[in-house]
Amino acid sequence: MLPAEAGGGVPVLPVEAEGLFSLLWLIVALPALGAVLLLLGGRAVNRLGHLVGTAMSAGSFVVALVLFIGLLGRGEEERQVQQQLWTWLEVGDYTVDMGLLFDPLSAVFVLLITGVGSLIHLYSIGYMVHDERRGRFFAYLNLFVAAMLVLVLADDYLAVFLGWEGVGLASYLLIGFWAHKQSAAVAAKKAFIVNRVGDLGMSLAVMAMVATFSTSSFVGVSAGMPEASSGIATALGLLLLLAACGKSAQVPLQSWLLDAMEGPTPVSALIHAATMVTAGVYLVVRSNFIYAEAPVAQVAVMVVGLVTLLFGAVIGCAKDDIKKALAGSTMSQIGYMMLAAGIGPAGYAFAIFHLLTHGFFKANMFLGAGSVMHAMDDDVDMRHYGALSRALPITFVTFAAGYLAIIGFPGFAGFWSKDKIIEAAFAEGWIFGVGALLGAGVTAFYMTRVMLMTFFGDKRWRPEVHPHESPSVITVPLMVLGALSVVGGVLLLGGWITHWLEPVTGPEGEHELFVSALVLTAMVTLTVAIGVAVAWVVFGRQSVPDSAPQRVSWLTRAARNDLYGDAFNEAVFMRPGQQLVRGLVYVDDKIIDASVGGLAALVSGSSGQVRRSQTGFVRSYALTMLGGALVAVVATLAVTLA
């Protein structure tokens, strides 16, 4: 028996922040200050907005790096540092403190958010150079970074919820940044609404925590969990999973992510690939003390992860829009992380490991896609690309590094992280292992397709397009992220990442495999090779049609339509909802007026004069009231006296 499975998650036992760590609040405060300055500063600040914004983000990264090094130097039991800021609310014995928790888990997140975030700020300087609202754009970016940092640094679920809503708001503002495009405004609204469904899970979970434990702090909940009933634990686990599904675009709340690609490309890279969409994974890993008591919820997490990783991969195969193909792959890769997180202590570290490497290579590829779009006059259709490897050499090389990382080419970052997840999935159950393996093959297929359609084959450029390499402010972030995509796997050296996260997630434990790990790695690599080969046969050897073929299999058609996610939502939620609204409005306006009004006319009797001079509504309103009062009296009597 593994210690973690024997019962009991890892309680959160922080130490007070002192010395160097009293600077902790600066990590959040710097980007928040940037956002406030840029939003309120007016035109003068607006001109320098990009510099201010980037400096704030970079400053936050520096502080985070210093503190991270400080954390490295501490003993294992002192690596959870807590800083109290102020008491947010205090109602009797229920208190929510605004506090920050800097521990191994939040530390790696903070580094990812501020590090990749700063690179994307830098990139955006070049990417948004012609946009007259560039200052505003950087304000929103800073707002996002600040909110995301609150999300991962908060030490109380209610404060996490604050960051959770904050990133939702920033994401909404940034997706809709080019609101002159109708599609962007609609996509922004969709993202907001779908995310609210997830938030529902989060807020109910926090309420249930308060009702059960009289607290929503990590410390309190993790201490109280072992005594909680299994029903409460399962409910909490499922509610938090619902929240995670909304934010991380997991099935069934996946539909908003593909539309969110309407936002500017740096936004897609930062929010919808590297950071915000992984918040769900963070939430599950952070709540490990809840899932330790809720095996049913854990299985649910794994199932959601497995379904999504295949779902996203299939969508990725059929998209011609380069950003949407990448979005499908994001969904799929987060599915891997969820799967790993659902496994429990044996998977938490690998979920986070894959999250980090994914943050590097997916941000890299999104920014690369942005560079390609920049060269192609903002055309996103890969059928209009082809043979760009020579025109955009730096973009090509860095994108290729990301490509090799995501398919899991031996030695690259993704290879290490994905391999570990597949291994853990096999140890958990055949279905999960085979599904994850299959997903790796499909990933190889569609990423090779993207690669071939974009950088190889014939030129299918539109006549007026003359591709050229982007300026260095764009290519430098690409090179940094490309390098990280190659070497990101070093985090696993000597089991560093698993050991590092141990204070948060508990020891990894041993698992038994049906074959040796080496054989399994070979199987994964073989599957990937098959995926690449198939893609080569379909897209490399033949020329790519200029427009999407219409005579295609049902699967392709389904994948092009996002596997009917929208149609499903429409049929199940939207239409019945609209019917309900229409019905209610009808009842509110018409039926009361017509039938009751008719009755009212009868009641008011012969006086036609009076009837005509009246508005007609008053008496029907009065009759509704009378009816309501009668029902109220009768119901009250019936309930009690029956």
Structure token digits, residue 118: 């700063």
CA 276, chain centre distance (Å): 5
Amino acid at 628: G
Q: How far is the CB of 24 from another protein (least distance, A)?
A: 19
Q: CA-to-CA distance for 312 and 331, rounded, in angstroms? A: 5
Per 3-state DSSP, what percentage of the chain is helix, strand, and coil (rounded to 5)?
75, 5, 20
Structure token digits, residue 427: 């140890």
Residue nearer to another protein on the CB measure, 606 or 640: 640
Residue nearer to another protein on the CB measure, 519 or 587: 587
Structure token digits, residue 64: 């985070």
Q: CA-to-CA distance for 51 and 556, rounded, in angstroms? A: 45
Amino acid at 543: S
Q: How far is the CB of 526 from another protein (least distance, A)?
A: 47
Q: How far is the CB of 569 from another protein (least distance, A)?
A: 14
Residue nearer to another protein on the CB measure, 68 or 88: 88
Core vs surface per residue 4-43: b (16+ CB within 10 A) or e: beeeebbebebeebeeebebbbbbbbbbbbbbebbbebee
Q: How far is the CB of 239 from another protein (least distance, A)?
A: 11
Structure token digits, residue 128: 């948004």
Residue nearer to another protein on the CB measure, 177 or 403: 177
Residue nearer to another protein on the CB measure, 6 or 639: 639
Q: How far is the CB of 144 from another protein (least distance, A)?
A: 15
Q: How far is the CB of 126 from another protein (least distance, A)?
A: 26
Whether omega before 252 lies within 30 degrees of 0, making that bond cis, reads: yes
The values of phi and psi at residue 99, to 5°, are -135, 160
Q: How far is the CB of 315 from another protein (least distance, A)?
A: 26
Q: CA-to-CA distance for 628 and 630, rounded, in angstroms? A: 5
- Supply angle C-alpha 252, 332, 114, rounded to 5: 105
Residues, the chain, total? 642
Q: How far is the CB of 607 from another protein (least distance, A)?
A: 16
Q: CA-to-CA distance for 329 and 255, rounded, in angstroms? A: 14
Q: How far is the CB of 162 from another protein (least distance, A)?
A: 4
* Beta bridge pairs of residue 90: 95
Q: Which residues bind another protein (CB under 8 A)?
A: 86-94, 158, 161-162, 165-166, 169, 176, 179-180, 184-185, 188-189, 192-193, 196-197, 199-200, 203-204, 207-208, 210-211, 214, 577, 580-582, 584-585, 588, 592, 615, 617-618, 621-622, 624-629, 631-633, 635-637, 639-641
Distances (CA, A) of 169 to 145, 164, 192: 12, 9, 8
Residue nearer to another protein on the CB measure, 86 or 554: 86
Q: 598: Cβ–Cβ under 8 A, 6 or more apart, which residues?
A: none
Residue nearer to another protein on the CB measure, 115 or 264: 264
Q: How far is the CB of 621 from another protein (least distance, A)?
A: 4
Structure token digits, residue 428: 């958990």
Residue nearer to another protein on the CB measure, 69 or 179: 179
Asked whether the beta carbons of 14 and 217 are under 8 A apart, the reply is no
Structure token digits, residue 16: 């007070």
Residue nearer to another protein on the CB measure, 93 or 378: 93
Question: What is the C-alpha R_g of the chain?
Answer: 27
Q: How far is the CB of 110 from another protein (least distance, A)?
A: 21
Residue nearer to another protein on the CB measure, 181 or 466: 181
Q: How far is the CB of 179 from another protein (least distance, A)?
A: 4
Q: 123: Cβ–Cβ under 8 A, 6 or more apart, which residues?
A: 266, 269, 367, 370, 473, 474, 477, 478
